[in-house]
Structure 1
Amino acid sequence: MTNDTKRTIRTAVQFLVGLAAALPLLVHASGIPETAPGVGVGLAVAAAVTRLMAMPVVQRLLPGWLRTDEESTG
């Protein structure tokens, strides 16, 4: 699997984790202004997961098909 494919899969996983965290807030909210906290939570969680997945210690814990080369993550 190429690094580009791995990065695409990782980005999708990160997005889905962020969306899952924000989903209860988004469902509960009924209007656009009320969804802002849900969107903020989703973006914050997605950003946190992205940073975590870039850490070398987490890279070693990920399955081989989700790991990226050390040189290309820096």
Structure 2
Amino acid sequence: MTTETKRVLRTAVQFLVGLAAALPLLVHASGVPETAPGVGVGLAVAAAVTRIMAMPAVQRLLPGWLRTDDGAAG
């Protein structure tokens, strides 16, 4: 699997985790202005997951198709 494909898959996983965290707020909200907190939560969770997945210790725990390093480190 190419590095570009792995990056796309990682981004999709990170986005889905963020969306899952924000979904209850988005469903509960009825208007566009009321969804702002839900969008903020989703972005914050996605950013946190992105940062955590970049850590070398977490890289070693991820399945091969989600790793971005070559596995030689550590």
User: What's the TM-score, normalizing by structure 1?
Assistant: 0.91
Deviations along 1:2-52, one digit per CA (max 9) or x if unpaired, are 110000000000000000000000000001110000000000000000000
Question: Runs of 5+ in structure 1 lacking a partner?
Answer: none
- The CA deviation at 1:66 is 1.0
Alignment of 1:59-74 (within 5 A): 59-69=59-69
Question: Runs of 5+ in structure 2 lacking a partner?
Answer: none
User: What's the TM-score, normalizing by structure 2?
Assistant: 0.91
Alignment of 1:8-27 (within 5 A): 8-27=8-27
- Aligned residues: CA RMSD: 0.8
1:53 aligned onto 2:46: no
Choose between structure 1 and 2: higher helix proportion: 1
Name the CA distance, whole Å, in 2 between partners of 1:68 and 1:20: 23
Identity %: 89
1:5 aligned onto 2:5: yes
Which structure 1 residue ranges, 4+ long, deviate > 4 Å from structure 2?
none
Name the CA distance, whole Å, in 2 between partners of 1:65 and 1:42: 24
For these two proteins, the number of residue pairs brought into alignment is 70
Amino acid at match of 1:44: A
